[in-house]
Amino acid sequence: MINFQYLRTTTAKSAIALLVKDKNAKFLAGGTNLIDLMKRGVTAPEKLIDINHVPLKQIEQIGNKIHIGALASNSAVADSALIKEKLPLLSWALQAGASAQLRNVATVGGNMMQRTRCSYFYDTEMPCNKRQPGTGCGAMEGFNRMHAIFGASEKCIAVHPSDMCVALTALDAEVVVANAKGERKIPFKDFHRLAGDTPQLDNNLKADEMIIRLEIPMNNLAKNYHYLKVRDRASYAFALVSVAAAFELSNNKITDIRLAMGGVAHKPWRLTASENFLKGKEATLSNFEEAAQLAMKDAKGFGGNDFKLKLAPNTIIEGLNLAKSKV
Amino acid sequence: MEKRVLKDDNDRVDGILKVTGQAKYFAEYELPGLTYGVLVTSTITKGKITALDTKAAEKAPGVIAVISHLNKPSAAAYEQEGGPQMKIFYTDKIFYNGQPIAIVVANTFERATHAASLVKATYAKEDFNTDFEKALKDPKAKKLQGQADYKRGIENAYKTAVVKLEERYFLPIETHNPMELHGIIADWRPNNQLTVYAKTQGVKATQGTIANVFKIPMENIQVNSEFVGGGFGMALRTWPLEIATVMASKHIGKPVKVVITRMQMFTMVGNRPAAIQTIGLGANKDGKLTGITHRAYGETSTYENFTEGVVNMAKFMYQCDNVNTAYAIVPVDLGVPIWMRGPGEATGAFALESAIDEMAHALDMDPLDFRIKNDPETDQQKNKPFSSKNIKEAYKIGAEKIGWSNRKNKPGSLIEGPWQTGYGVSVGVFNANRGKASVKGILKADGSLHLQSATSDIGPGTGTGMTLIANKLMKIPVNKITFELGDSSLPPAPSQGGSATLSTVGSAVNDVCVALKSAIAELAANSNMDATANFVDVLKKNNLPQIEVTKESQGGKERDNYSMYSFSIHFVQVKVHALTGVVKVSKIVSVGDSGTIVSPKTARSQMLGGAVGGIGMALTEESIIDHRYGRYINNNFADYHVPVNADVPEIDVNFINKPDPYINPMGAKGMGEIALIGFSAAVANAVFNATGKRIRTLPITPDKILA
C-alpha cells in the first residue's frame, strides 16, 4: 500500500503548523479532486491534513465586502441568499460547475486548488510537463480540443477547469492567505499562474500558506449579468468556453463592466481590453461584437481547439446579450 | 426468489427489489474465503512481453498469487495449438494497449489494487496503428470481407440517375458503459466443480465458454446471473478477464472476485466499432429511388474478426430495383469490438437515413413524403411479403404528435433569437428474431404458477413480460406467477441479444401454458369434472400438489414465407444555437411497430432508453484514442459523455400494438434494438433542417456546428 498519514485539525494555525512540518503534506477539504489524483497515481501525499473542521465556512457581509470562508461548500455559496442577491454572477457560475453531489462537498478553497482535467495529466503512462516536468506536453500535438488558446507555453497548454474562479476573477475578488507569520492578500486575477516554464505550478500560493477566505467588494453588477458555459452536454461537463459577463448600465451607457473567460487558458482569463473598450459605450450588439474581437487579439489554436477561436468571441457576444436582456 | 412477483399488470417484477437495493448483482455475493483479483494491463500497444517482474507484488501485504503467462495456470483448451489468438496468460503477445497481462489476487481489493501497480512489464515494442482512417487509406493494410457483396439490378445505378448523391459518413468508437462495472466471481472447488456469479446476457453461453476453455463438463459449472446492471451487448460473451478469474480461482483453490475499473471498461469488454460508410442514392424527378449503394467499413481487432449488419437495411427498407452493398472490416491494434445496442443496423441507419434525408432535400420533397413514396409493399431482397408492417400508420401518428406541419422544408426557416429550430425523422428496422428456448412450468394446488428458464434480464423487463404472457393465457393473477431466470441449471434459453428474448422465451412460456391447460383439462375429464373447472380444484380433487411441464419452442415454416422485421420511427425537434453551436433535443416522438405490446410499461421504458442512447450517439458519445500511443483519452465518466437528464426532453412513446399474425403465438416482435436504430439520423436530419448544416460525422458537438 502507498500509506499516508491522516491528520485532523480544528484551527487554521495548527493546520499551517502541520503543513510546514512535512514537505509532502496536503490539505484535505472536499477531496473531490485530490482523492482522484491519488487513485490515479498522479500525486501521493505522505500526510493528509483534514481541515474540514476548521471554522472557515462563513458567508457574510463585512462593511463593503462579502467574505466567504475557504471551506464554505460550493453549494452553500451558490444557494446563499446573500450571494444570490449581491453576487448572483458567482452563484450562477457555481451552479454551472460539476454536479449537485460534487458541489455539496467541494469547497471554495478546493475549487481554486483543483488541477487541470487534461487527460495527459491524469494518465501516468503519457507525457506531461505538469505532472512530471521534462516529459513533454502530450496535448500539444495530441488531443487538445479542450485546451488553451490564450497564454499557453511550449511546456503546457492545459486549462484551469473552474467555473467559480472565472466569476471571482471578474468580480475583483481578493484571496486572503495565511502562513505562520500572518496573512496576506492576493488579487484573484493574480492567484493562478500561466504555465510558462513551470507548468507544475498552478498558482502563487506558497508552500507554507493556507487559503483563509475570499473578500469580494460590493458592486452594482447584480442586474445585468450572465455566466454562459458552452459544453458538450447540458450538465456535468467542463467548459469548452465559458464567459462571465456583468455590467452596470446608466442611460444605456455601460458604466462598469466585468468580463472573464474560462476554458481558454491556464488561469481564468480576464478580458481587460474588451472591458476598457465597452466602458462608457452603449450596450449594443455591434459594440459587443467589437469587444469580442478585441478579446481574441492574442489567441492561438493548436489544431483540435481551433474552433474556440470562433466559439470564444461568439460566447462573449452571447454572454453580453444575455446579461443585457436580464430583467 | 418469492419476491419476484408482479403486483399488478402495470408493474415490474423486480421494480421494488431494484429501487430498494434488494436486487443482488454479481459483485454483491459474499462467499466464505472470498479473495479479490485485480488485472494488470499492457502499457504498450503492440509487441511482446520480454520480462515480467512480479516479485514486489508477490511480497506485498495480503497477496496470494500473481498469475500471468509465466505460470500459466491450467486451462486445457489453451494448452492446445490453434483456437483464439488471445489466449489469456498463454501468450506473451500484446495486441492492444490495456490488454490484461496478469492478475494479482489478494485478501482485500485495495491490497490487490496496490500490488497490481507493482507488477512491472518489459516489452519489445512493435509498430502499431490504432487509427481506422489511416488503415483505410493504407493500401498495405488488411481489409477483410465482412459480409457477402449484395447486388440487385444494376450495380451503382445511382451514378446515372437524374438526381444523385454520394456522401461519406463517420461514426466513432462508442463504449457501452453500463452503470454496472464488468467482472465475475469464480469459485473453483475440488473435483472440478465451479460456481460463478457473472454479469452476463447468457448464463448458458457463459457456462459453455468456460466448459470449453477448461475442458470440464457443462454440468460441473453453475452460472448465476439473476440481475444485470445494464449490458447493451457488452455482456454477450465471456471475456478474457473472466477466464483469468476462473484460472485464478482454480490456481489458488479459493473463490476470486474481479470487478474491473471504469477505465478498463474501455479496453476489456468491447465497444461499438468505428465505421466509415459511403451511400450513393439515385432518384428520378418524381422522387422514386432508382439506385441505392451502401458501402461500409467497420473496425475490428488484429486478433479476432468482428462483423455486424451495417449494410442490411439498404437491401429492403426502400422500394428500389437497383441496390448493391459491400461491407469490409479493417483490423487495427485495438481490443475486439462487440455488438452495442442496435448494433450494426444502428450504425448503418445513421448513414442511410441521413442520405435519404439529403435526397429528399435535393428533390425539394418533404422527407416524410419521400419515405412514403418509396415505401415497399414487399421485401425485395427476400422476395417475400412482410409478416406485418404498419410503418405508414406510424409515420402518421408520429408526424401529428411532433407537429410535423410546423416544419419548413427550407432549412434555417424557424428562427427565434439565436435559436434555430428544426425537425427530423428517421426509420429504424431490425430483424424480428425468434430462436429456440425451453421453459418449465410448475402449476401448484395453492393457485400459483412457477416458470423457469435459463434466460437473462439485462433490464428490458423479461420477467415482467413472461409473467404477463402467462397471466393472459392462464387467467392466473399476476401476483401468483413467478418467473425464474439467470441460472444455468434451468431449462436452456439463448443469450439475451438481438431483440429476441420475448419472442423466443415468450413462445415457450406460451407453449407451457397451453400444455398445462390441456393437462388440467385432461385431469378434469378423467375425474368427471367440468372442462372449465378451476385448476386448483382439479389438482386438489386428484390429490396432486402440483403438475410440471417443460416445453421447447421454436419457430416453424412461417419464416420461409414471410419477411419479419420490427420497425420504429423517430421524430425529433432540435434547437441549435447559432452562436455557440449547442444542440438541444427539445422534443421526441418515437413510434414502435413491433407487433403486440405484451408489457406496456417495460416496452415504453425500452423506447425511453433507446432515445437516450440515441441522443448520446447523435450528440455526445465518442471514445477518443491518442493514436501516437494507442491509448484512450477520455476513459472515464467525466470525459466520456453519456447524456444527462438535462440533455433529455420529454419522450413521447407510442406503439402501433397490432399483432403480427406469423411471428409467434403472442404476435409480438422484439423492440430493444429499434428503440435506438435510426435515432441519431433523426437528430442529424433535424440539425440540418434547423441550420442547413449537414453533419456526417458523429457526435454532433458544438465545434462541428460552428465549423
CA-nearest of B495, B553, B502, B478 to B666 is B502
Quick one: pLDDT band at residue A1, thresholds 50, 70, 90? confident
Angle at B656 between CA B653 and CA B657, to 5 degrees: 105
Give pLDDT tens digits for A97-129: 999 999 999 999 999 999 999 999 999 999 999
The answer, yes or no, to whether residue A199 has pLDDT greater than 50, is yes
* Nearest Cα residue in chain B from A123: B633
Contacts of B381 (CB under 8 A, 6+ apart): B150, B152, B315, B316, B323, B563
Interface touch A125/B633, C-beta < 8 Å: no
Residues of B in contact with A117 (CB under 8 A): 638-639
Considering only alpha carbons, which residue of chain A is nearest residue B641?
Answer: A233
C-alpha cell belonging to residue A230 = 458552452
Exposed/middle/buried for B111, CB within 10 Å: 0-12, 13-18, 19+?
A: buried
Contacts of A126 in chain B (CB under 8 A): 626, 629, 631
Q: The CATH number of B275-433+560-706 is which of 3.30.365.10, 3.40.50.920, 2.40.37.10, 3.20.20.70?
A: 3.30.365.10
The amino acid present at B169, given as its one-letter code, is Y
Mean pLDDT by runs of 10 across the 707 residues of chain B is 63 91 96 98 98 98 97 90 90 97 98 97 98 96 96 98 98 98 98 98 98 98 97 97 98 98 98 98 98 98 98 98 98 98 98 98 98 97 98 97 98 97 98 97 98 96 96 95 97 96 97 98 94 94 97 94 98 98 98 97 97 98 98 97 97 98 97 97 98 98 97
Identity of the amino acid at A233? R
Asked if A233's CB is within 8 angstroms of B643's CB, the reply is yes
Residues 6+ apart with CB under 8 A from B376: B316, B317, B318, B319
- The C-alpha atoms of residue B205 and residue B202 are separated, in whole angstroms, by 5
Q: Which residues of chain B make contact with A41, given a CB cutoff of 8 A?
A: 117
Q: Give the pLDDT of residue B1.
A: 43
Contacting B with CB below 8 Å, chain A residues are 1-2, 41, 117, 119, 123, 125-126, 138, 141-143, 145, 228, 230, 232-238, 240, 307, 310-311, 314-315, 317-318, 321
Asked if B631 and A123 come within 8 Å (Cβ–Cβ), the reply is yes
Residue A181 is classified by DSSP as T
Looking at CATH, the fold of the domain delimited by B31-126+180-229+235-266 is given as Aldehyde Oxidoreductase; domain 3 (3.90.1170)
Distance, in Å, from the CA atom of A191 to the CA atom of A112, rounded to the nearest integer, reads: 9
Q: How many CB pairs under 8 A join A and B?
A: 80
Under 8 Å CB-to-CB from B586, ≥6 apart: which residues? Answer: B421, B573, B574, B575, B649
Q: Across the interface, do B631 and A238 touch by the CB < 8 Å criterion?
A: no
Which residue is catalytic, options B226, B345, B358, B673? B673
Give B28-57 pLDDT, tens digit per residue. 999 999 999 999 999 999 999 999 999 999
Q: Enumerate residues 6+ apart whose C-beta is below 8 A from A178.
A: A12, A16, A184, A209, A210, A212
Q: At what angle do helices B600-615 and B462-474 cross, to 10 degrees?
A: 150
Contact B634 A119 (CB under 8 A): yes
Burial of A134 (0-12, 13-18, 19+ CB in 10 A): exposed
pLDDT in the model for residue B82: 85
What is the SS3 assignment for B276-288? EEEEEEEECCCCC
With CB atoms and an 8 Å threshold, state whether A119 touches B639.
Answer: yes
Q: What are the backbone dihedrals phi and psi of residue B673, each rounded to the nearest 5 degrees, phi first?
A: -80, -45
d(CA A87, CA A85): 6
Q: For residue range A124-175, what is the model confidence (pLDDT) as tens digits? A: 999 999 999 999 999 999 999 999 999 999 999 999 999 999 999 999 999 9
Say how far apart CA B509 and CA B426 lie, in whole Å: 34
CA proximity to B336, closest of B230, B184, B458, B234: B234
Domain residue limits, chain B: 15-23+435-554, 31-126+180-229+235-266, 275-433+560-706
Say whether B579 and A317 touch across the interface (CB within 8 A). yes
- CA distance linking residue A263 with residue A148, whole number of Å: 7
B673 a catalytic residue: yes
Nearest to A1 among B61, B584, B645 (CB): B61
Alpha-carbon gap: B681 to the closest alpha carbon of chain A (Å): 18
Secondary structure E strands in B89-200: 93-94, 100-106, 120-125, 144-152, 163-171, 183-189, 193-198
Interface test with A, best of B114, B637, B639 (most A CBs within 10 A): B639
Per-residue pLDDT at A62? 98
Environment class of residue B475 by beta-carbon count within 10 Å: exposed (0-12), middle (13-18) or buried (19+)? exposed
Indicate whether A197 pLDDT > 90.
yes
Asked whether residue A236 carries a pLDDT value surpassing 90, the answer given is yes
Coil, helix or strand at residue B44? coil
pLDDT at A21 over 50: yes
Task: Identify any residues that bridge with A229 across adjacent strands, giving them in sequence order.
Answer: A242
Residue B267 distance to chain A (closest CA, Å)? 15
Q: Do B15-23+435-554 and B31-126+180-229+235-266 have matching folds?
A: no
Residues of chain A contacting residue B580, judged by C-beta atoms under 8 Å apart: 228, 230, 311, 314-315, 318
Long-range contacts of A284-293 (CB under 8 A, 24+ apart): A285/A317, A285/A321, A288/A316, A288/A317, A288/A320, A288/A321, A289/A313, A289/A317, A291/A259, A291/A316, A291/A320, A292/A316, A292/A317, A292/A320
Q: What CATH architecture is B15-23+435-554?
A: 2-Layer Sandwich (3.30)
pLDDT at position B3? 56
Give A93's Cβ-side CA count (13 Å radius).
Answer: 33
Q: How far apart are CA B159 and CA B168, in angstroms?
A: 15
Q: pLDDT at residue A327 above 80?
A: no
Q: Taking residues A234-258, what's their average pLDDT?
A: 96
Residue in B closest to A41 by C-alpha: B117
Residue B629: list chain A partners with CB under 8 A. 125-126
pLDDT at B2: 46
Domains of chain A: 5-52 (3.30.43.10), 224-325 (3.30.390.50)
Calpha distance B588→B569 (Å, rounded): 11
Give the C-alpha distances (Å, rounded to integers) separating A5 from A49, B54, B543, B610, B680: 8, 27, 71, 48, 51
